[in-house]
Amino acid sequence: MATSSFQSLHQSFHHHHFTTSPDSIFFKPTKSFKLFFNLSPSSSSSLTTTSASSVVPSTAGAAAAATPFDVLASHLSSSDFRQADEETRRLLIALAGEAAQKRGYVFFSEVQFIPAADLQEIDQLWRRHSGGRFGYGVQRRLWEKSGRDFTRFFIRMGWMKRLDTEVEQYGYRSFPGEFLWELKDDTPEGHLPLTNALRGTQLLRSILTHPAFEESEAEEGGGTGMEEAEEKEKEKEKPKLKGARRSLEPDYSF
């Protein structure tokens, strides 16, 4: 992906609109977005980068270098997980390139162009401020433990809930009201950040299989023999997804 200037990224993040395009992260901001800040016009216009985390202002002697991840870090440090979730999507759109910025969402095929260092920085912030319970790396581990079965994976993370039916069936939670925005003892591991998978799982699969998370998974190691046995047992009784739930109208624009 071609490099982009601070100004072009900055300007592209005002007034995006919601879209229903498939296999994409949906973006519905409540306020205009400013990705880069505390930089003078002269310094910002001279900076280009292929990795947002590697950028520092060219002006010497700055007290603290502003980074594209400062807003996310601020929301997470104050446990404002709802805003942190929105900020994460905005960062992914910025990092995916100019085409994603113009349309306001990310195609699954663009995820490969996001630098691993930037995805790792986002993931580390989520982990650091959630006691290791949130983040893409956590989701990757849970996905693998679920045998890469997305229905089981979504139930495990609390993205789906059991329906009030005689037969065991599950439906997607409605965004935003039915999702959990506080870190409590009963908040499912990996519940945040959210990725819209209602209309397909290609985008989420592309994120979870990004090289950025292969190293962290190797460091954590695979599951224990007991965990693997439990997963195989669960595989025999996969929960059923109620197809009719997909046709409902709640806002799934996460």
- What is the three-state SS of 213-242? HHHHHHHHCCCCHHHHHHHHHHHCCCCEEC
Phi, then psi, of 73 in degrees rounded to 5: -60, -35
Per-residue confidence (pLDDT) for residue 197, from 0 to 100: 85
Per-residue confidence (pLDDT) for residue 44, from 0 to 100: 34
Per-residue pLDDT band at 198 (split at 50, 70, 90): confident
Ranges of each domain in the chain:
69-210
Per the model's pLDDT, the better-predicted residue between 83 and 53 turns out to be 83
Burial class from Cβ neighbours inside 10 Å (0-12, 13-18, 19+) for residue 128 reads: middle
pLDDT in tens, 78-115: 999 999 999 999 999 999 999 999 999 999 999 999 99
Q: Report d(CA 198, CA 190) in Å as an integer.
A: 17
Per-residue pLDDT band at 72 (split at 50, 70, 90): very high
Mean pLDDT of 228-254: 45
pLDDT at position 40 over 50: no
pLDDT at position 218 over 50: yes
| Structure-token pair, residue 189 | 């591991």
CATH number, span 69-210 = 1.10.10.1770
CA angle 65, 69, 74 (to 5 degrees): 95
Per-residue confidence (pLDDT) for residue 240, from 0 to 100: 52
Q: Which of 128, 129, 136 is nearest to 78 (CA)?
A: 129
Which residues, 6 or more positions from 215, have their beta carbon under 8 angstroms from its beta carbon? none
Angle between helices 81-96 and 70-77 (to 10 degrees): 160
CB 10 within 8 A of CB 47: no
Per-residue pLDDT band at 180 (split at 50, 70, 90): very high
Per-residue confidence (pLDDT) for residue 164, from 0 to 100: 94
Percent of the chain topping pLDDT 70: 59
